Amino acid sequence: MWIPIFIGMTKGKPSMKFLNQQGFIPVTIIIVIAVISAAVIYESTHGKITNITKKQASLVTQPTSTPSPTTTPTSLPTPTPAPTSIPTPKSTATPTPSVAPQPVSNNNPPGSGYSYQNVSADGQTFPVSIIAADMNSTKVIVDTASDSDCANNCPILPLADYVSRNGAWAGINGSFFCPAEYPSCAGKTNSFDTLLMNKNKHYFNSDNNVYSTIPAAIFSPGSARFVSRSLEWGRDTGIDSVIANYPLLVAGGNIAYSEAPNEPKFGQKGPRGFIAAKGNMVYIGFVHNATMGESAQVMKALNMDSALNLDEGGSTALWYGGYKLGPGRGLPMAVLFVQR
């Protein structure tokens, strides 16, 4: 910007009158005017430059501030898990083994079915397993594994098979026979030589028992007959069954057995099988831990009219809804209770 400086004019020519003034003041005035003019020029020029600088500055991209580096978290060691404590198993109480029910003391035989009872006889007490049946409604039969006489290597069956094939509700092993495990039975394995009539009305060993002194029990509808010798019995097939064995324990309500020196096993303690009768009732079972003489005492204590010993030892088997005793070895015959 140009600012005219008028020093003075006289008819078109600068007047130097002012300049020709003597002293400090005129010079000072001139300097002030010059300073002011310079300031005006500077302000005008500097303002434009400043505006341009500001505009340019606004166009310059402000540098993005460098973000602070993310602090990497210090990796802490994974804590070792505490070992899981294994719970100490609670001790299972050892089950108390079931104890066989103690027999009830009773010198009366059951009215029907099965009973396990203590019987007092001759100052002693004997456990007895006994099954009772009424012969008016129950038929006593003898079944055999063989259909006819057999002298050696005879067929045998377990008591359960006899029960099953006859639909019986109770049963017991029969008379003495010759087991295969006995050395003295070689050549006559599983045979028996006593009189017997089976369910098919066949009489076994009939010829060699014509003069037999072995006792026998005969069963008919509603009654039983016990004879001290088989020779006292014919070959009637109108009855239900016949089975012979020894010894006779009770006859007519009295003890019929007497000690047999030639039978040392009879004096040993063991299970003693029996078949007995009182009135129209028939009983089968075992006297436990008794000699033959003690078994006879128990039969009398039970007020039996008649009682005959049956096989025992390894042949011991008693069935009533399952084995009550046994099953024992295979048998050539069995005594069974079936519905009449």
Strands 241-244 and 216-220 turn out to be antiparallel
187 contact partners, CB below 8 Å, separation of at least 6 = 152
What is the value of pTM for the model shown? Answer: 0.71
Rounded Cα distance between 169 and 156, Å, is 20
Report mean pLDDT in 10-residue bins for the chain, 340 residues: 39 40 53 59 48 41 43 45 49 49 89 98 97 98 98 98 98 98 97 98 96 97 98 96 98 94 92 98 98 98 98 97 98 98
For the record, the structure tokens of 264 come out as 């040392």
pLDDT in tens, 245-302: 999 999 999 999 998 888 999 999 999 999 999 999 999 999 999 999 999 999 999 9
Q: How many CB atoms neighbour CB 328 within 10 A?
A: 18
Helix (H) or strand (E) holding 52: helix 24-59
For residue 92, give Cα distances in angstroms to 88, 89, 95, 96: 12, 8, 8, 12
Rounded to the nearest angstrom, the gap between the alpha carbon of residue 117 and the centroid of all alpha carbons in its chain is: 31
CA quadruple 304, 323, 138, 194: dihedral sign: negative
Show me where the domains of the chain are located.
9-51, 104-339
